[in-house]
Structure 1
Amino acid sequence: MKLIICMFIVLISAKECDKNKAQLASQNNTEAIATGSSEKQMQNDSKITYLAVSRGYFLTVVLEGDTIIFSNERDLKSAIAHEIPKEEKESLMNLISKLDAKTLPELEAPSKAHEYDGAAIATLEIADGENSYKTVSFDHGNPPESIKAIVEKMLSIKTMIEKQ
Protein backbone atom coordinates (compact mmCIF):
# COMPACT_ATOMS: atom_id res chain seq x y z
CA MET A 1 0.00 0.00 0.00
CA LYS A 2 2.83 2.39 0.91
CA LEU A 3 4.52 1.58 -2.36
CA ILE A 4 1.40 2.44 -4.35
CA ILE A 5 1.00 5.76 -2.51
CA CYS A 6 4.65 6.65 -3.09
CA MET A 7 4.36 5.87 -6.81
CA PHE A 8 1.21 8.00 -7.02
CA ILE A 9 2.97 10.97 -5.36
CA VAL A 10 5.98 10.64 -7.69
CA LEU A 11 3.71 10.65 -10.75
CA ILE A 12 1.84 13.74 -9.57
CA SER A 13 5.11 15.55 -8.81
CA ALA A 14 6.52 14.72 -12.25
CA LYS A 15 3.35 16.00 -13.91
CA GLU A 16 3.56 19.31 -11.99
CA CYS A 17 7.23 19.73 -12.89
CA ASP A 18 6.45 19.26 -16.58
CA LYS A 19 3.68 21.84 -16.35
CA ASN A 20 6.05 24.36 -14.66
CA LYS A 21 8.74 23.75 -17.29
CA ALA A 22 6.23 24.39 -20.06
CA GLN A 23 5.12 27.65 -18.44
CA LEU A 24 8.72 28.83 -18.01
CA ALA A 25 9.56 27.91 -21.61
CA SER A 26 6.61 29.87 -22.98
CA GLN A 27 7.44 32.84 -20.74
CA ASN A 28 11.09 32.83 -21.89
CA ASN A 29 10.00 32.67 -25.55
CA THR A 30 7.70 35.66 -25.02
CA GLU A 31 10.51 37.65 -23.38
CA ALA A 32 12.94 36.69 -26.15
CA ILE A 33 10.50 37.86 -28.81
CA ALA A 34 9.90 41.15 -26.97
CA THR A 35 13.58 41.91 -26.51
CA GLY A 36 14.56 40.45 -29.90
CA SER A 37 12.79 43.20 -31.82
CA SER A 38 14.65 45.92 -29.92
CA GLU A 39 17.95 44.04 -30.37
CA LYS A 40 17.48 43.95 -34.12
CA GLN A 41 16.89 47.70 -34.15
CA MET A 42 19.92 48.52 -32.04
CA GLN A 43 22.39 45.65 -32.43
CA ASN A 44 25.43 47.84 -31.79
CA ASP A 45 24.12 49.29 -28.51
CA SER A 46 25.26 47.99 -25.18
CA LYS A 47 23.14 46.35 -22.52
CA ILE A 48 23.38 47.93 -19.08
CA THR A 49 22.01 46.07 -16.08
CA TYR A 50 21.66 47.42 -12.55
CA LEU A 51 20.66 44.89 -9.91
CA ALA A 52 19.98 45.50 -6.20
CA VAL A 53 19.03 42.58 -3.94
CA SER A 54 18.51 41.85 -0.26
CA ARG A 55 16.30 39.43 1.64
CA GLY A 56 13.24 41.66 1.34
CA TYR A 57 14.16 43.85 -1.62
CA PHE A 58 14.69 43.31 -5.33
CA LEU A 59 15.25 45.79 -8.13
CA THR A 60 16.49 45.20 -11.63
CA VAL A 61 16.82 47.90 -14.29
CA VAL A 62 17.97 46.89 -17.77
CA LEU A 63 18.68 49.32 -20.59
CA GLU A 64 18.97 47.71 -23.97
CA GLY A 65 18.71 49.59 -27.23
CA ASP A 66 15.97 52.19 -26.88
CA THR A 67 14.18 50.22 -24.14
CA ILE A 68 14.28 50.23 -20.37
CA ILE A 69 12.95 47.20 -18.52
CA PHE A 70 12.53 47.21 -14.75
CA SER A 71 10.99 45.01 -12.10
CA ASN A 72 10.69 44.79 -8.32
CA GLU A 73 9.91 41.07 -8.33
CA ARG A 74 12.49 38.29 -8.50
CA ASP A 75 10.49 36.22 -10.99
CA LEU A 76 10.28 39.23 -13.35
CA LYS A 77 6.59 38.53 -14.04
CA SER A 78 5.75 42.18 -13.51
CA ALA A 79 8.63 43.49 -15.63
CA ILE A 80 7.72 46.77 -17.28
CA ALA A 81 9.25 47.78 -20.62
CA HIS A 82 9.17 51.32 -21.98
CA GLU A 83 10.93 53.31 -24.64
CA ILE A 84 13.58 55.65 -23.27
CA PRO A 85 13.18 59.32 -24.24
CA LYS A 86 15.87 60.28 -26.77
CA GLU A 87 17.37 63.05 -24.61
CA GLU A 88 17.66 60.75 -21.58
CA LYS A 89 19.31 58.02 -23.61
CA GLU A 90 21.81 60.44 -25.13
CA SER A 91 22.65 61.76 -21.67
CA LEU A 92 23.18 58.24 -20.32
CA MET A 93 25.26 57.15 -23.32
CA ASN A 94 27.40 60.25 -22.86
CA LEU A 95 28.10 59.21 -19.25
CA ILE A 96 28.91 55.65 -20.30
CA SER A 97 31.24 56.79 -23.07
CA LYS A 98 33.36 58.55 -20.42
CA LEU A 99 33.73 55.28 -18.50
CA ASP A 100 36.24 52.54 -19.34
CA ALA A 101 34.07 49.44 -18.88
CA LYS A 102 37.15 47.24 -18.49
CA THR A 103 37.82 48.87 -15.12
CA LEU A 104 34.42 47.89 -13.64
CA PRO A 105 35.62 44.65 -11.97
CA GLU A 106 38.43 46.58 -10.27
CA LEU A 107 36.25 49.24 -8.61
CA GLU A 108 36.12 49.30 -4.83
CA ALA A 109 32.88 49.78 -2.95
CA PRO A 110 32.91 52.98 -0.83
CA SER A 111 31.08 51.22 2.02
CA LYS A 112 30.43 47.64 3.08
CA ALA A 113 26.93 47.79 4.64
CA HIS A 114 25.75 45.13 2.18
CA GLU A 115 28.05 42.63 3.91
CA TYR A 116 25.98 42.66 7.11
CA ASP A 117 22.42 43.33 5.82
CA GLY A 118 22.79 47.08 6.27
CA ALA A 119 22.00 47.73 2.59
CA ALA A 120 20.92 45.83 -0.50
CA ILE A 121 23.73 44.31 -2.56
CA ALA A 122 24.02 46.10 -5.90
CA THR A 123 25.97 45.50 -9.10
CA LEU A 124 26.26 47.23 -12.45
CA GLU A 125 27.00 45.24 -15.60
CA ILE A 126 27.79 46.61 -19.03
CA ALA A 127 27.73 44.21 -21.96
CA ASP A 128 28.69 45.25 -25.47
CA GLY A 129 28.33 42.36 -27.84
CA GLU A 130 30.74 39.64 -26.78
CA ASN A 131 32.28 41.41 -23.78
CA SER A 132 30.62 41.84 -20.42
CA TYR A 133 32.02 43.79 -17.48
CA LYS A 134 30.50 43.66 -14.00
CA THR A 135 31.32 45.60 -10.86
CA VAL A 136 32.04 44.05 -7.52
CA SER A 137 29.16 44.20 -5.05
CA PHE A 138 28.45 47.59 -3.53
CA ASP A 139 25.72 49.16 -1.39
CA HIS A 140 22.50 50.09 -3.16
CA GLY A 141 22.36 53.88 -2.89
CA ASN A 142 26.13 54.26 -2.48
CA PRO A 143 27.89 53.18 -5.71
CA PRO A 144 31.59 53.76 -6.43
CA GLU A 145 32.26 57.35 -7.49
CA SER A 146 33.19 56.52 -11.09
CA ILE A 147 29.79 54.91 -11.80
CA LYS A 148 27.65 57.02 -9.48
CA ALA A 149 26.34 59.29 -12.25
CA ILE A 150 25.43 56.29 -14.44
CA VAL A 151 23.54 54.52 -11.64
CA GLU A 152 21.71 57.71 -10.65
CA LYS A 153 20.75 58.39 -14.28
CA MET A 154 19.39 54.86 -14.75
CA LEU A 155 17.33 55.11 -11.56
CA SER A 156 16.07 58.58 -12.48
CA ILE A 157 14.91 57.34 -15.90
CA LYS A 158 13.10 54.47 -14.16
CA THR A 159 11.44 56.85 -11.70
CA MET A 160 10.46 59.28 -14.47
CA ILE A 161 8.80 56.47 -16.45
CA GLU A 162 7.02 55.13 -13.36
CA LYS A 163 5.45 58.56 -12.73
CA GLN A 164 4.03 58.72 -16.26
Structure 2
Amino acid sequence: IDKPLSWGLGWFTTGHGVVHSVFVAVPVGLALLPLADRLRRPALGAAVLVGYWSHLLADVVSPLRSGGALNFGAVLWPIAGPSPYETDYGLWRGVVYVGRFLDGLSSVDPLVLLSYLLLPMLAFALWLADGAPGLAGARRYVSTSG
Protein backbone atom coordinates (compact mmCIF):
# COMPACT_ATOMS: atom_id res chain seq x y z
CA ILE A 1 0.00 0.00 0.00
CA ASP A 2 2.77 2.45 0.94
CA LYS A 3 4.76 1.94 -2.24
CA PRO A 4 1.92 2.84 -4.65
CA LEU A 5 1.06 5.80 -2.41
CA SER A 6 4.69 6.91 -2.64
CA TRP A 7 5.65 5.95 -6.16
CA GLY A 8 2.35 6.69 -7.87
CA LEU A 9 0.81 9.49 -5.83
CA GLY A 10 3.83 11.01 -4.07
CA TRP A 11 2.15 10.91 -0.65
CA PHE A 12 5.32 9.62 1.05
CA THR A 13 8.97 10.41 0.31
CA THR A 14 9.85 6.69 0.46
CA GLY A 15 8.04 3.38 0.07
CA HIS A 16 7.75 3.12 3.86
CA GLY A 17 4.86 5.05 5.33
CA VAL A 18 1.76 4.56 7.40
CA VAL A 19 1.23 0.85 6.67
CA HIS A 20 4.86 0.04 7.52
CA SER A 21 4.47 1.66 10.94
CA VAL A 22 4.24 -0.43 14.11
CA PHE A 23 1.89 2.30 15.35
CA VAL A 24 -0.58 1.10 12.70
CA ALA A 25 0.43 -2.55 12.31
CA VAL A 26 -0.05 -3.50 15.96
CA PRO A 27 -3.59 -2.10 16.39
CA VAL A 28 -4.65 -3.33 12.94
CA GLY A 29 -3.28 -6.78 13.71
CA LEU A 30 -4.94 -6.93 17.11
CA ALA A 31 -8.27 -5.81 15.61
CA LEU A 32 -7.96 -8.29 12.76
CA LEU A 33 -7.94 -11.40 14.95
CA PRO A 34 -11.34 -10.89 16.60
CA LEU A 35 -12.81 -9.80 13.25
CA ALA A 36 -11.52 -12.95 11.55
CA ASP A 37 -12.87 -15.01 14.45
CA ARG A 38 -16.30 -13.37 14.13
CA LEU A 39 -16.26 -14.21 10.40
CA ARG A 40 -15.31 -17.79 11.32
CA ARG A 41 -11.99 -17.45 9.49
CA PRO A 42 -9.47 -17.41 12.39
CA ALA A 43 -6.78 -19.21 10.36
CA LEU A 44 -7.04 -16.59 7.62
CA GLY A 45 -6.77 -13.79 10.18
CA ALA A 46 -3.71 -15.40 11.74
CA ALA A 47 -2.13 -15.90 8.32
CA VAL A 48 -2.63 -12.24 7.38
CA LEU A 49 -1.26 -11.15 10.74
CA VAL A 50 1.84 -13.36 10.46
CA GLY A 51 2.44 -12.15 6.90
CA TYR A 52 2.01 -8.48 7.81
CA TRP A 53 4.15 -8.51 10.92
CA SER A 54 6.87 -10.74 9.43
CA HIS A 55 7.10 -8.30 6.50
CA LEU A 56 7.84 -5.49 8.95
CA LEU A 57 10.38 -7.68 10.74
CA ALA A 58 12.06 -8.38 7.39
CA ASP A 59 12.30 -4.63 6.75
CA VAL A 60 14.05 -4.20 10.10
CA VAL A 61 16.60 -6.99 9.51
CA SER A 62 17.11 -6.36 5.77
CA PRO A 63 20.26 -4.21 6.21
CA LEU A 64 22.01 -7.20 7.82
CA ARG A 65 22.31 -8.68 4.29
CA SER A 66 24.89 -6.06 3.42
CA GLY A 67 26.61 -5.86 6.80
CA GLY A 68 24.48 -2.97 8.09
CA ALA A 69 22.69 -2.58 11.40
CA LEU A 70 19.08 -3.29 12.27
CA ASN A 71 16.83 -0.58 10.81
CA PHE A 72 14.09 0.12 13.35
CA GLY A 73 13.41 3.44 11.62
CA ALA A 74 11.77 1.52 8.78
CA VAL A 75 8.80 0.70 11.03
CA LEU A 76 8.60 3.82 13.20
CA TRP A 77 6.81 6.17 10.78
CA PRO A 78 6.01 9.07 11.42
CA ILE A 79 8.56 9.39 14.24
CA ALA A 80 11.41 8.04 12.12
CA GLY A 81 11.83 6.62 8.68
CA PRO A 82 14.19 6.13 5.78
CA SER A 83 15.73 9.08 3.98
CA PRO A 84 13.76 10.34 0.97
CA TYR A 85 14.63 8.93 -2.44
CA GLU A 86 17.44 10.81 -4.19
CA THR A 87 15.68 10.49 -7.55
CA ASP A 88 11.92 10.36 -8.08
CA TYR A 89 11.25 7.61 -10.62
CA GLY A 90 7.50 7.54 -10.02
CA LEU A 91 5.98 4.14 -10.76
CA TRP A 92 9.22 3.13 -12.56
CA ARG A 93 10.73 2.91 -9.06
CA GLY A 94 9.32 -0.64 -8.82
CA VAL A 95 11.58 -1.80 -11.65
CA VAL A 96 14.55 0.06 -10.15
CA TYR A 97 13.78 -1.44 -6.72
CA VAL A 98 13.68 -5.04 -7.99
CA GLY A 99 16.84 -4.53 -10.06
CA ARG A 100 18.79 -3.18 -7.08
CA PHE A 101 17.49 -5.97 -4.86
CA LEU A 102 18.57 -8.69 -7.31
CA ASP A 103 21.93 -7.00 -7.83
CA GLY A 104 22.44 -6.85 -4.06
CA LEU A 105 21.67 -10.56 -3.69
CA SER A 106 24.52 -11.45 -6.02
CA SER A 107 27.09 -9.91 -3.66
CA VAL A 108 25.83 -11.41 -0.40
CA ASP A 109 27.56 -14.12 1.63
CA PRO A 110 25.84 -17.46 0.80
CA LEU A 111 24.94 -18.15 4.46
CA VAL A 112 23.32 -14.72 4.82
CA LEU A 113 21.47 -15.28 1.54
CA LEU A 114 20.22 -18.66 2.74
CA SER A 115 18.98 -17.21 6.03
CA TYR A 116 17.32 -14.33 4.16
CA LEU A 117 15.52 -16.70 1.78
CA LEU A 118 14.61 -19.26 4.45
CA LEU A 119 11.23 -17.72 5.32
CA PRO A 120 9.98 -17.52 1.70
CA MET A 121 11.20 -21.08 1.08
CA LEU A 122 9.37 -22.33 4.18
CA ALA A 123 6.23 -20.43 3.17
CA PHE A 124 6.37 -21.97 -0.32
CA ALA A 125 6.85 -25.47 1.14
CA LEU A 126 3.91 -24.94 3.50
CA TRP A 127 1.77 -23.72 0.58
CA LEU A 128 2.65 -26.88 -1.39
CA ALA A 129 2.02 -29.12 1.64
CA ASP A 130 -1.39 -27.46 2.02
CA GLY A 131 -2.30 -28.45 -1.54
CA ALA A 132 -1.33 -25.15 -3.25
CA PRO A 133 -4.60 -23.37 -2.38
CA GLY A 134 -5.77 -20.88 -4.96
CA LEU A 135 -4.01 -22.57 -7.87
CA ALA A 136 -7.04 -24.59 -8.99
CA GLY A 137 -9.24 -21.50 -8.97
CA ALA A 138 -6.69 -19.57 -11.01
CA ARG A 139 -6.54 -22.40 -13.55
CA ARG A 140 -10.33 -22.47 -13.82
CA TYR A 141 -10.43 -18.71 -14.30
CA VAL A 142 -7.80 -18.80 -17.04
CA SER A 143 -9.46 -21.72 -18.85
CA THR A 144 -12.94 -20.13 -18.79
CA SER A 145 -11.86 -16.61 -19.72
CA GLY A 146 -9.65 -17.60 -22.66
Task: Choose between structure 1 and 2: higher strand proportion.
Answer: 1
- Normalised by the length of structure 2, the TM-score is 0.28
- Larger Cα Rg: Structure 1 or Structure 2? 1
Which structure is higher in helix share?
A: 2
Whose RCO is larger (CA < 8 A, sep 6+)? 2
